[in-house]
Structure 1
Amino acid sequence: MTDSNRKIIIDAITRMLSRREHSCQEVYRKLSQKGFARDDFMSIVQEFVDADILSDHRYAQMRVRACAARGIGTSRINGELKQQGIDESLISAAIAEAEIDWFELALQVKQKKFGQQVEGDFKHRQKQMQFLHYRGFTQEQIQYAVNGD
């Protein structure tokens, strides 16, 4: 690899990370799409990881906070982060560190979409439950939100 290629790859990674956190897998994918050879950028990405400039843990923390702010539950967050190549232990740690009351978040999401009242009609309750399930909340969180207890 030439010195100019190295500088171009470093510049590309720096520009990516200046906008937002990225997972390592995401950086690999984007560099490959730009036409760089995997052998050329693997060592450079590892330098960024070793210097703690690129961190899957920070990326997971950022995604958990961003998803929770959008009303998305732990199941869906977990799936999204696994698709990004984040380790299960990092995902669990990021969710725990967020210190979010997922039951209250499910209740807030339900109330924003369907209102404060507890629905008595079976079909309407099912619709609420399906919506919260789609949003990634667990069954216990859904029951808490729908039943209001």
Structure 2
Amino acid sequence: MSEFDRKIITEAITRMLARREHSYKEIAQKLKQKGIESAAFTPILDEFRDADIQSDARFAESRTRALYLKGKGPRTIKLDLQQYGIDEYCVEQAFDEISPDWFESAKAVKIKKFGEFYESDYTLRLKQKQFLQYRGFYQEHIEYAVSGD
């Protein structure tokens, strides 16, 4: 690989990381889409990771925080991070770092969509539960959110 190619790859990675955190897998996919061979960019990307310029842990934390603030549940966040190639350990670290209250988050999402009142009609409560399940909350979070307590 020529010095010119190395410079192009380095600049491409730097531009990506300057905008926001990216996962290792995401950067690799974007470089492949640009037509760069993986044999050419893998050593350079490894250098970025070794220098802690690119970090899957930082990416997981920032992505987790963003999705949590959008009202997504733990199931949805875990699946999202898996698509970016983040392992289970980094996901758990990200959850520990932001220390989310899933119960209150589910309740806030329910209130924002359906209001604060307790729904006594079975079909309407089922609709609320399905919505929260779609958002990625687990059953215990959903029960807490739709209960009248």
Relative to the length of structure 1, the TM-score reads 0.98
Aligned length: 149
The one-letter amino acid paired with 1:25 is K
CA distance in 2, matches of 1:67, 1:95: 11
5 Å matches for 1:1-149? 1-149=1-149
Runs of 4+ aligned structure 1 residues displaced above 2 Å come to: none
Identical amino acids, percent of aligned pairs = 53
Q: CA deviation at 1:148?
A: 3.9
Q: Deviations over 1:20-59 (max 9, x none)?
A: 0000000000000001011000000000000000000000
* 1:62 aligned counterpart, secondary structure: helix
| Paired residues of 1:107 and 1:148 also in contact (CA < 8 A) | no
Q: CA deviation at 1:9?
A: 0.2
Q: What are the ranges of 5 or more consecutive residues in structure 1 without an aligned counterpart?
A: none
CA distance in 2, matches of 1:82, 1:32: 19
CA distance in 2, matches of 1:53, 1:21: 9
Q: What are the ranges of 5 or more consecutive residues in structure 2 without an aligned counterpart?
A: none
RMSD of aligned alpha carbons: 0.7
